[in-house]
Structure 1
């Protein structure tokens, strides 16, 4: 062990969110029914779902946009390892005002904020994000929109245990998101929400690699700081948003 060995980041996660293999397979099958030629992933991270769409739609090409260079490098490596590196581009740039579309399939899972300039947003940010996405979806295409929502109104104690500055208006209801999609020019083809089991698998995987690192690097200069960070995250989940914050996966059809 050396001082240069840093804690791993998200190495136990396949998807950066509460998404099971079974649900991912169903989403990919639905999104590729019309043999899309182009795929755009907003806030892609390492783009696992986009890569699976590309694999299921031979000949299609994809672009993933994100600001995290480490995640993008992981996506490029995975694409090359699966023999589709020539069909996908991972771009380190802001999605705000992007002109990368329109695409036959657009993915935006937990990344609606990436499309918005916070200094210019007025009103409902979810509706603003969906409005920006509407122009990125080709006619006859599909948008997969993943967004957090309150399953119920959080209590003051739960909000205090969540992320710093958490507020009751950070998210809206599931019905509110569906209404925002309609107002932005979409109809709902499919609506599904992450299960408790998917959340538990995600939250465990989010910290698993770091916990393994802590178990063998107790004397590392970063061990105490890392342990505190992990403990704060787990407490924010267990005492704050567990059973309160949901995630919806909407498959949306653009309409006039």
Structure 2
């Protein structure tokens, strides 16, 4: 049986349409930037609540498949597809995105913010390429260091265990070239899009705590809310960048 996301993750992001530090406006910019065409086929691994596929199907006439392990987020994605009138153009599959390969080659293969499915950037790009038609685009969403983390507390505040968990932006761009890919577009998060991703979780968690004071997870979520805002403004917001990078094989 396919696993599901841990419940705390679903609790804190259950109202999110985009499960990354990317606003809906930046998602729209990305769709325009990569010059999507009607009829393009997309594969989105770890597709979350499906906002990318649904809005791009509406705005650009693409078709696509999203794969995710969260039953809650997949239900949201299917509702969103119906709301936008694109349920006939997008499909959402409950499954482990790690190792998933499309049955037919796609024009765009994406993993936006979940490169752990391939064991890191290089492995995830290799996985996506298995579904990609010759000349197609890979989309990778990945963090990078904006500044060198000075200590272990900063690393942990940025959800890292060691500095090498992420590259800086030049290092990440260099890695794409070393792997044999041209970087042909990118759209980067800014502090506002980080706020919309992270700060929005605090109100969601607080509302959940108010409604579920006796839940078995209440203590864990209360402790998280006690520390999360200060950790965010002290560590993650100033030190960690994030972006989506469009790649084409050389």
Q: Same fold (TM over 0.5)?
A: yes
Other structure's SS at 1:242 match: helix
Alignment check: 8 A CA contact 2:146 2:241 kept = yes
Other structure's SS at 1:63 match: strand
Tell me what 1:53 maps to.
56
Tell me what 1:3 maps to.
none
Displacement of 1:224 after TM fit? 3.6
Tell me what 2:91 maps to.
89
Alignment check: 8 A CA contact 1:104 1:138 kept = yes
Q: Which runs of 5+ in 1 are unaligned?
A: 1-5, 117-124
Other structure's SS at 2:48 match: coil
Displacement of 1:221 after TM fit? 4.1
Displacement of 1:218 after TM fit? 7.5
Other structure's SS at 1:142 match: strand
Give the total of aligned pairs. Answer: 239
Other structure's SS at 1:200 match: helix
Tell me what 1:158 maps to.
154
Displacement of 1:13 after TM fit? 2.1
Q: Which of the two has higher C-alpha Rg?
A: 1
Structural mapping, 1:26-65, within 5 Å: 26-58=29-61, 60-65=62-67
Tell me what 2:238 maps to.
243
State the superposition RMSD in angstroms. Answer: 2.4
Distance 1:162 1:141, change over 3 A: closer
What's the TM-score, normalizing by structure 2?
Answer: 0.84
Other structure's SS at 1:29 match: helix
Q: Which runs of 5+ in 2 are unaligned?
A: 1-7
- CA distance in 2 between counterparts of 1:180 and 1:41 reads 22
Alignment deviations for residues 112-163 of structure 1 (CA, whole Å, 9 cap, x no partner)? 11134xxxxxxxx322222322333222322221101111221113124444
Other structure's SS at 1:85 match: coil
What's the TM-score, normalizing by structure 1?
Answer: 0.82
**Farther off after superposition, 245-254 or 231-240:** 231-240
Displacement of 1:9 after TM fit? 4.1
- CA distance in 1 between counterparts of 2:52 and 2:158 reads 28
Displacement of 1:212 after TM fit? 2.6
Tell me what 2:198 maps to.
203
Displacement of 1:24 after TM fit? 1.6
- CA distance in 2 between counterparts of 1:88 and 1:78 reads 10
Structural mapping, 1:104-253, within 5 Å: 104-116=107-119, 125-156=120-151, 157-163=153-159, 166-214=161-209, 216-217=210-211, 219-222=213-216, 223-253=218-248
Other structure's SS at 2:88 match: helix
- CA distance in 2 between counterparts of 1:238 and 1:65 reads 32
Displacement of 1:194 after TM fit? 0.9
**Farther off after superposition, 203-212 or 26-35:** 26-35
